[in-house]
Structure 1
């Protein structure tokens, strides 16, 4: 991620060094003073002093919360919150940031971190959010300790926020007596002041963290800090790398680095009937990379291709735009060749438009790889059927991986150039996940330029909450609210309505899990008799311990509470099912009900099918399943599968990804051809955007009718159950959250 614009950023620094009843922490005052000086230094960040709020020993919770609210409201690029002082934990292990009058008997005088997290996550629309906590509470008689921080980082996570804390679970943070700074902030300040030799400029947070952690690990008795981030949070950068920016006479002599010229190829060149590979760079750090053109290679396990190598890799992701002549990973080789061939088959001189599938195209996770392959297969299947029809304009398909914050602008700029170029006629992007943070940023940038978008399998309850409202976007799949509404109304699912439930949700996920939790509360709230929360933890054993504790809690519930409403991601659901399979009360049976995020769970090789044969049932909803739609378009897709498999490899419709991408691409093509008229001309972007307001057509998932907000009304919701005998989902029923078939 590039260095955020200081004029559009805000920072709040809170330092408490004097306490009425807790030990004073004189080093904290130095922490705040020096950090403020560095953040405002021109060669570090250059934050204007008026954009920096420093509160020393604030006595009012409202003063702290008002400062964060104001900063979050004003910040358009980056928001930083820093706290140094004592931290206290409630009996529920909730974090309190201690103010001067706070003590162990009066926790209510401290600032509840949940309030800070809520403000950081949901106030304003800063592009990057960073939280740094140097705190915990000294419950021992030893001087120099600030107390035990019980797993603070996973409690402090907010979606799209990077969090760095001074210590790990049960470890105290150190304020060594007599030292100028606390141990953690002291090393953080030294790394900012000195920079990281050989590191990128600016410094991503995880590079900064690694350097701080390594320095602290070398000091005996000093606890090791921890970090948490989701999506592209690790790539957020707030400071320059001084080791690379200081004048040459001040820097240590070093041999000159090999010069690498950044490559920015022309957007798409029609040479010999084929579009050639576009920008391909490594994600997460904004640095020059060596990129050369390469013929499509098959069978390689190199996700980014052997010809793409970052100088200083963090995530190692491959990003860019390809017409199929470059394969983002070996699993996409066959379908990429097919797309390249379909693009080449468009007759010379015939009217055509370009549609981009905007989605992650690389992964090391087997389940994600299958999901990606299925999406691309679905888009290709739609392109193939569209272009077989005797109509124009033809559809040229490209694959667009937006990457993280460090490179997404490069990709969105390139797609925007394609939209105004008569050589390319980009008229829509399709298939994106409405909850994925980096996808959202890319879609915002593209729709700001008038490029229509058609979402894939995930639709937020309220797109406006994610900055995607009032834009030319079509949402063709049911939202979590639609799914929970269909569950509640389903006669076939009367067991859900009659059972008593425990609601289990991820407190750290401010996207899909939060929407699903809210939908469960709205439509099935009367069934809920208990709740259980969990948070994301990197350590697998600690994560497992959370779910084991919830399973033990469930065993103590009344016998009529045998239903679990689970709001979390599929990996966490898998781990929860394993813990439930090992529950103490093996005589009791439980049914876990969740949303469409579980659609690929049956493909997870680590799923405990034994638990599903031992009294645990998993049911989920989906807007796309081959057994749920009986229309002509689904039948066409089914008939195409056998032929597609000989071209692209095995095609699996059961996780819904192929079907959703197929329908998103069909929606784009249907709209484009309808507004193009009988002459088959290439319509304008504005005409396509306006056309989305009146979409009515038959798709594989049923009839798609978009309302004035671009939402598909009355879309079918399929209720499925994982069948351990078949190791596959089985359709239970198909319901509608509103009038069936769009009314």
Structure 2
């Protein structure tokens, strides 16, 4: 028998695998789509983020803050939302009225300052808001009352210059680029007395844009053509303080405490002018000098308390910013010689203390340390009652009961003077603008307004809510009324006297 055997086999036929899908037209199409999607995603990742915040406003600088120029349509901080909306609505009303047959012409006035607290600035959020509210009040009065003329109408623009050079540069560039379209002829406000403020003023005045400082007081900012200010210079503040001390604290021995921060014109000139105004024989020879831009300021003051007791002053003149007062007063309240009452008097920036984070520490120091705190204010409503002849009833009307300010901002305070000073800076701009318009020109220019600045004295002086603004040849108000203000341990702020450079401020009307 034949054994069972396997079937006969042969070599298999070769196998041809199917062609991969990705090698055909379908694969090419898919590859192109994938690459397109990947490229789009990469572009989204790599492209720079948009810097636009609103028309005229952009994110600038390392902190990407929104700075620039707005008509009120954009609010730089939530804190400014209400007043920005009021300004926006008033600006729209001006444009609507101008568009009608026979409508009044209009010009643009910019209110410029750092509009956000912090970043090394000395202003608080409250003081910034009060300034803008005061500026709006002046705009409303200019457009809706007959006390300051009728034409041109005023559109108020808001400019946030930020806290860095590149932010300020962008904002000033926006003012320049919008100058023609928005008929910009003047800039008010400007900020505080710093080198950055000086740079902004010089750039604006170089472009023949008139500038009106609200609270800048440093004497180093005098004699800039095209700049005037409604606040008395530091020389006047120091002289007013000296006059008050010689009357209320005769023969007082005074210790000068001075901030040596390099770019702070306010502190430097305040100290220099007080030295010139107060009898040299009553000044303690060695001043106390600190630098607020450096660390350990509180420690420095604490270490100096032994010398304070050794020199035994009756009065301390604090030539520094209000934000530094808590760091000085807290150690002062714990000095060994606490049994002797000590009066501390400072300049107008001390008005910021009442709204600062350190106000509790200040009140505690005043209560426990046998200390009395005074400062030379720029404006305070108590002064209107204390010396009524130095204030025009028409000028203060927007701020008293029934006026535009309490109507629009019923819960706001006037105690820091910021709203009053901002109002007066815009009001002074309006006076110059409308003086220029009397020449019959169809459109007032910045040059026209600059030309009128040296007109505002004597019979043409401006009756401000802060007192008579009669400008000298240096752009400063002459012998301006200066309230002497006390901050009490319970936080109340009141005017105790009204002084001036000569000690006798002028009447409130020209």
TM-score by length of 1: 0.56
In the alignment, structure 1 residue 621 sits paired with structure 2 residue 373 = no
Mapped partners of 1:690, 1:642: distance in 2: 32
Summarize the Cα distance change of 1:445–1:591 in structure 2 as closer, same or farther, 3 Å threshold: same
| Deviations 1:351-381, CA, capped at 9 Å, x for gaps | 0011000111112599610011000000000
Q: How far is 1:642 from its partner? A: 6.4
1:520-539 to structure 2, matched below 5 A, reads 520-524=274-278, 525-529=280-284, 530-536=286-292, 539=295
1:320 to 59, 62, 68: 68
Mapped partners of 2:447, 2:403: distance in 1: 38
Aligned to 1:204: none
In the alignment, structure 1 residue 553 sits paired with structure 2 residue 302 = no
* Matched-pair contact (CA < 8 Å) for 2:110–2:186: yes
Secondary structure at 1:556 match in 2: helix
Summarize the Cα distance change of 1:720–1:425 in structure 2 as closer, same or farther, 3 Å threshold: same
Long gaps (5+) in structure 2: 1-41
1:596 to 320, 329, 348: 348
Secondary structure at 1:710 match in 2: coil
1:417 to 167, 177, 181: 177
Q: How far is 1:697 from its partner? A: 2.0
Secondary structure at 2:47 match in 1: coil
Task: Output the aligned Cα RMSD.
Answer: 2.5
1:169-568 to structure 2, matched below 5 A, reads 258-260=46-48, 277-283=54-60, 285=61, 313=62, 315-346=63-94, 347-349=97-99, 350-364=104-118, 368-390=124-146, 391-403=150-162, 404-419=164-179, 421=180, 423-463=181-221, 469-490=223-244, 494-509=247-262, 510-524=264-278, 525-529=280-284, 530-536=286-292, 539=295, 542-558=296-312, 561-568=313-320
- In the alignment of these two chains, the number of paired residues is 437
Mapped partners of 1:537, 1:736: distance in 2: 31
Mapped partners of 1:709, 1:543: distance in 2: 36
Secondary structure at 1:698 match in 2: strand
Mapped partners of 2:236, 2:288: distance in 1: 23
Summarize the Cα distance change of 1:344–1:648 in structure 2 as closer, same or farther, 3 Å threshold: farther
* Matched-pair contact (CA < 8 Å) for 1:547–1:576: yes
More contact order relative to length (CA 8 Å, sep ≥ 6): 2
* Matched-pair contact (CA < 8 Å) for 2:400–2:406: no
Q: Which has the larger radius of gyration?
A: 2
Long gaps (5+) in structure 1: 1-254, 266-276, 286-312
In the alignment, structure 1 residue 728 sits paired with structure 2 residue 492 = yes
Q: How far is 1:648 from its partner? A: 4.4
Mapped partners of 2:118, 2:319: distance in 1: 25
Q: How far is 1:639 from its partner? A: 3.0
Summarize the Cα distance change of 1:454–1:584 in structure 2 as closer, same or farther, 3 Å threshold: same
Mapped partners of 1:353, 1:663: distance in 2: 18
1:583-732 to structure 2, matched below 5 A, reads 583-607=335-359, 608=361, 609-614=363-368, 615-629=370-384, 630=388, 631-639=392-400, 644-645=405-406, 647-648=408-409, 650-677=411-438, 681-695=442-456, 696-725=461-490, 727-732=491-496
Secondary structure at 1:600 match in 2: helix
Mapped partners of 2:454, 2:439: distance in 1: 20
| Deviations 1:248-286, CA, capped at 9 Å, x for gaps | xxxxxxx77532386689xxxxxxxxxxx4322234x3x
Aligned to 2:30: none
Mapped partners of 1:497, 1:262: distance in 2: 63
- Structure with the bigger percentage of helix: 2
* Matched-pair contact (CA < 8 Å) for 1:317–1:362: no
Secondary structure at 1:399 match in 2: strand
Mapped partners of 1:411, 1:676: distance in 2: 28
| Deviations 1:38-92, CA, capped at 9 Å, x for gaps | xxxxxxxxxxxxxxxxxxxxxxxxxxxxxxxxxxxxxxxxxxxxxxxxxxxxxxx
| Deviations 1:680-707, CA, capped at 9 Å, x for gaps | 8431221110101111121111211112
* Matched-pair contact (CA < 8 Å) for 1:393–1:681: no
Summarize the Cα distance change of 1:576–1:449 in structure 2 as closer, same or farther, 3 Å threshold: same
Mapped partners of 1:519, 1:503: distance in 2: 11
Mapped partners of 2:431, 2:366: distance in 1: 42
Q: How far is 1:409 from its partner? A: 2.5
Mapped partners of 1:692, 1:497: distance in 2: 40
Mapped partners of 2:123, 2:403: distance in 1: 23
Mapped partners of 2:167, 2:250: distance in 1: 47
Mapped partners of 2:170, 2:323: distance in 1: 31
Mapped partners of 1:372, 1:554: distance in 2: 35
1:52-71 to structure 2, matched below 5 A, reads none
Summarize the Cα distance change of 1:434–1:571 in structure 2 as closer, same or farther, 3 Å threshold: closer
Q: How far is 1:640 from its partner? A: 6.4
Mapped partners of 2:250, 2:215: distance in 1: 26
TM-score by length of 2: 0.80
Secondary structure at 2:287 match in 1: strand
Mapped partners of 1:667, 1:714: distance in 2: 17
* Matched-pair contact (CA < 8 Å) for 2:117–2:124: yes
Q: How far is 1:454 from its partner? A: 0.3
Q: How far is 1:537 from its partner? A: 5.6
Q: How far is 1:634 from its partner? A: 4.3
Secondary structure at 2:480 match in 1: coil
